[in-house]
Amino acid sequence: MLILFDHSTPAPLRHALRAHVVVEAIDRGWDRLANGALLDATEAAGFELLVTADKNMHYQQNLTGRKISIIVLGKAQWPILRHNAEKVVAAVKAATPGSYAEVEIPFE
């Protein structure tokens, strides 16, 4: 699966997703794109999944008809997230085209 990490997604999370190709938005020069433009660029480039910590995306964007799956991290701080990476892996495995999921990450 081709996955894009939004600028808010901790880069070390890619190690938990070794079975996939992970690209960071900054590598494509997309780190400054607004959500709508980011979703358009991501889909046009053939990405299948976007991982972000932007909890407002669901409310700010009309996701109806989108092909890309979106996973929103409940917390993006790596020291907390790293102990819960398996939850993100499970959400990636469960993702289907156009799906939206929020991964709750408890405080540690």
54 in Cβ contact with 6 (< 8 Å): yes
Q: Give the confidence band of 108 by pLDDT, cuts at 50, 70, 90.
A: low
Domain ranges of the chain: 2-103
Mean pLDDT of the chain: 92
> Is domain 2-103 annotated with CATH 3.40.50?
yes
| pLDDT tens per residue across span 36-60 | 899 999 999 999 999 999 988 777 7
Q: What is the pTM of this model?
A: 0.92
**How does pLDDT run across 13-35, given as a tens digit for each residue?**
999 999 999 999 999 999 999 88
